[in-house]
Amino acid sequence: MQRVRLRYTKRGRLRFTSHRDFQRAFERALRRSEVPMAYSAGFTPHPRVSYANAAPTGTASEAEYLEIALAQPRDPEELRQRLDASLPDGLDIVAAVPAATGDFAERLAASEWRLRLDGVPPAEAERAVAAFLAADEIPVRRQTKKGMRDFDARGAVVTLGVEPAEPGGSDRPGSAPCAILRLVVRHLTPAVRPDDVLSGLRAVADLAPPVPAAVTRLAQGPLDEETATVLDPFAPDRDAAPAVSVTAGGQPPAAAPGATGQ
């Protein structure tokens, strides 16, 4: 059994696709592409697909990850192209690697986010960010699957800053002011999401954008503590690929799944 890890995106209007909707679309793409999937055991077998740390509905992303198990080996790049062609524009498979290492989910230790705040002057955003970073703790409240939870939005934030807005880069064009925040956050339990950070900015500095923020996950993976940057989680698999290809006559051996599955 071969395992392949895929990185996919949610762009444009497809950012409103729920995780369940994506699962259905992806399973249809597997059938259209005639991918030789391995299936779970039991009375109702399912394709062996493991999803890792999906972004919230309404959030765009350049860095979503999943892993599939194949009954027959396939070239990862050819597989990526076939699946990408079978998915709608906006749900794009952009990278594929053989699963040559384990513990993949543990590598997804942090995310980098871009938050576009239309209608917010950059100077106002900078004032709010400074107040946020100066706080030792910022309690926020959010509804979770386990009910209403109170937790600290500040502790998970590695970096938060304001960057210049690029001309014409908004999906809400106009001449109104705009601030863009760049956020790196650790994956803790419960997870601190961009909307929690926005709640924290509202709490400490009364920052309230007049329209909902346009949020994009730019990366997720291991966190480099020295540079506060999020690294490529596929790097260990790419580094191990030459050694894997030599074993078993060129056929990659099965690797332990690293992501939580269905």
User: 109-229 in CATH: which number?
Assistant: 3.30.70
The pTM for the full model equals 0.86
Residue from 200, 246, 3, 228 nearest 101 by CA: 3
Cis peptide before 190 (omega within 30 of 0): yes
Distances (CA, A) of 221 to 110, 114, 133, 193: 6, 16, 23, 15
Q: Could you list the pLDDT tens digit for every one of the 262 residues in the chain?
A: 899 999 999 999 999 999 999 999 999 999 999 999 999 888 888 899 999 999 999 999 999 999 999 999 999 999 999 999 999 999 999 999 999 998 899 999 999 999 999 999 999 999 999 999 999 999 998 877 778 888 899 999 999 999 976 655 444 555 689 999 999 999 998 889 999 999 999 999 999 999 999 999 999 999 999 999 999 999 999 998 765 443 333 444 444 334 444 3
Q: Does domain 2-106+233-250 have CATH number 3.30.70.580?
A: yes
What are the extents of the domains in the chain?
2-106+233-250, 109-229
- For the chain, the first-to-last Cα distance in angstroms comes to 18
Domain 2-106+233-250 matches domain 109-229 at the CATH topology level: yes
